[in-house]
Amino acid sequence: MSAAANPLSDLLAEKGVLLADGATGTSLFAMGLEAGEAPELWNETRPENITKLHQDFVDAGADIILTNSFGGTRHRLKLHNAQDRVFDLNRKAAEIARAVADKAPRKVITAGSVGPTGELLIPLGAMSYEDAVAAFAEQIEGLKAGGAEVAWIETMSSADEIRAAAEAAVKLGMPYVYTGSFDTAGKTMMGVHPRDFPAVAKDIGDGPVAVGANCGVGASDILSSLLDMTDADPSATIVVKGNCGIPEFRGSEIYYSGTPPLMADYARLARDAGARIIGGCCGTSCEHLAAMRVALDDYTPSERPTVETIIARIGPMRNKTANEGPTSAPRERTGRRRQ
C-alpha cells in the first residue's frame, strides 16, 4: 500500500488510527431531505444544513469528513436534471466540508466522496471503461477545486468501476481510497471477495492510501470482511465504515439496532482486527461517533477477534461467509449510501 506524501498519509503516520465520520443520509433526512431528493442539490440550496452535518461530526471527534457528493457523477445527477452541474455541485460540496475542516481545532481531512455511477460497464451494461473514467474525472475535478484532499471512492461493487475511479483520481493528481460494500453472501454484488479487494487497484498510480469496506448489511458482517482483508494483505491500510448495527424495517421506517455502546465495541473490535481508519455508515449519528471516539482514545490492545467473538459481542451476522452462500434477508437498498 502506498504511503506517498499526502495529508491523509501524514495524519495516519502521526496518529496511527483515524476516526472517519458517520451517516450522511440519516442526518439529512432528519433535517427534511425527502426520499428521492438528491442530497447533492442541498450543497447549493441548503448549505447551512450540510455545514451542520460536517460540524457535528467534527465536534464528535471525526478526523475525516466525507463531502456530500456521493451521487455526484453525471449519471446520478441526470436523474435530477443536474448532469450539467457536476463540477459546480462537487466543488461546492468540497468547499463546505473544507471550510468546516479548516476551522477545526485539530487537523481534519476533507475526503471527496465518490460513489458508483449506477451504470453497468460493458459487457454487462452500456458504459465503456473510458466513459467511466471520464465521468469520475469530471466529478473529482470539482472536488479537487473545492479543496478535497483525497478521492474517497466508496460503496463500490465492481472491480472495473473502482479501477476507473482510481484512474480518474490519478489523472487529477489526487491520492485515493476505495471501499466496497460486501452485502451479497459476503461478497460485493459483482462478486468481489474481501480477500481480493486490497489488490483491485493496487497498480494504479502509487496505489491507494487505504482500502476497505463500508455499508453492507450489519456491523458483524463488515468486521468479518475486515478480518478477511487484513488476513489477505497485512500491510494494507484498511478502512472499515460499518452500519450502525443491523437495519430493520419498522412499518415504513428503517431502524438501526446499534446503540452508542455497541458502536464503541465495534470500534474496539475493528482496531483489534487491524483497521486503521474506523467510522460509521448508515444510521451512525454523532452520538454513536462520539462513543467511538472515546473507545479509540481509551483503546487497550486485545487479541485479534474471531468471527465467533464478533457475533458474541456485536450480534448475529446477516450473511453467511462468501464460502457458505447467502442466508435469508438481503440488504435493504435505497440507492444511496451512508443513510
Task: Provide DSSP, 82-145.
Answer: -GGGHHHHHHHHHHHHHHHHHTSSS--EEEEEE---SPPBTTTSSB-HHHHHHHHHHHHHHHHH
Peptide bond into 105 cis (omega under 30): no
Give the separation between CA 276 and CA 187, rounded to whole angstroms: 22
Residue with cell 437495519: 247
CB 68 within 8 A of CB 51: no
286 is in an annotated binding site: no
Q: Which class for 102: exposed (0-12), middle (13-18), buried (19 or more C-beta within 10 A)?
A: exposed
Minimal CA–CA distance to 208: which of 8, 6, 2?
Answer: 2
Residues in a beta bridge with 113: 152
3-state SS assignment for residue 185: coil
- Phi then psi for 240, rounded to 5 degrees? -135, 125
281 is in an annotated binding site: yes
215 is in an annotated binding site: yes
Give the separation between CA 236 and CA 209, rounded to whole angstroms: 9
CB 339 within 8 A of CB 248: no
Q: Which class for 2: exposed (0-12), middle (13-18), buried (19 or more C-beta within 10 A)?
A: middle
In eight-state DSSP terms, residue 20 is: B
Query: Annotated binding site, which residues?
Result: 215, 281-282
Query: Annotated binding site for Zn(2+), which residues?
Result: 215, 281-282
